[in-house]
Amino acid sequence: MNKAKIGIFGGSGFYSLFDKKTEVNEKTEYGYASAPVTISKIEGQSVAFLPRHGLHHQFPPHKIPYKANITAFKELGVERILGPNAAGSLQPDVKPGDFVICDQMVDRTWGRDDTFFHGPDVAHISFAEPYCPEMRKVAVEACQKLNIPYHPKGTVVVINGPRFSTRAESKWFSGHGWEVINMTQYPEAALAREREMCYLNIALITDYDAGLEGMPEVKAVTAVEVARIFKENNERVKKLIAEIIKNLPEERKCPCGEAMKHAKL
């Protein structure tokens, strides 16, 4: 059976990664993943790729089969997940085209199946640090080496979607000092933690959400604009992914791999 220790979820506008690949389309206990998983080599490492919205963007954020996606990776042996995603900016200094290596998250979603533990088997994972510190360090160093405009940390607020924010909502989020807005980071990262997999957020800023207060020339986001900006930056995303994979330590020394050790009463 094909195996891979590294998995990549493709975001909006990022639906394929490999030219030569092996395709896996096994059904998990949570149903099928968003698309067949493809496996190939990057920097000598076996890597699995899965577009989280499906090959034709047929899954809106609140309907993505997150548990099936995570399980598909887990069954292939994935230990580390890179989660590039299209995201909006909530602050003037975080500009379209910038990358943000987020270190924190605020969940504003609702109704999503966000745990593998619905009882009688119950677990309470620690999620104080939602993103793998080891992978974040490697990602920041990769951005520096490639001279990519980036922010070494930031808080992403995850909204339910599929609609974008009102101006009032966007002002509320930015007033908290949060930098990034997205629709898919939760429960994806939390489910990965429950399966003791490392998870890295790579937010590519495509827009200024509902615009910037006092700057009427900055227009509110549209889906067409998101897709255009992400497509324009696909090659930079791929180069960053390759650089990160090249520099990941062979063995994990982060706490992610033992997330369940103290999660049960």
Catalytic residues: 207, 209
Instruction: Show the tokens assigned to 59.
Output: 């899954």
Report helix angle 223-232 to 234-247, nearest 10: 50
DSSP assignment letter at 61:
G
Give the residue among 130, 138, 136, 217 at the shortest CA–CA distance from 182. 130
Instruction: Give me the phi and psi of 55, to 5 degrees please.
Output: -65, -25
- Give yes or no for a contact between 183 and 189, defined as CB atoms under 8 angstroms apart: no
- Give yes or no for a contact between 195 and 217, defined as CB atoms under 8 angstroms apart: no
Q: How many helices (H) and strands (E) does the chain have?
A: 6, 11
Any alpha helices (H) in the chain, and if so which ranges? 66-75, 133-146, 167-175, 185-194, 223-232, 234-247
Instruction: Give me the phi and psi of 99, to 5 degrees please.
Output: -105, 140
User: Cα separation of 12 and 8, whole Å?
Assistant: 13
Instruction: Give me the phi and psi of 155, to 5 degrees please.
Output: -105, 130
User: Cα separation of 225 and 146, whole Å?
Assistant: 25
- Give yes or no for a contact between 193 and 123, defined as CB atoms under 8 angstroms apart: no
- Give yes or no for a contact between 10 and 54, defined as CB atoms under 8 angstroms apart: no
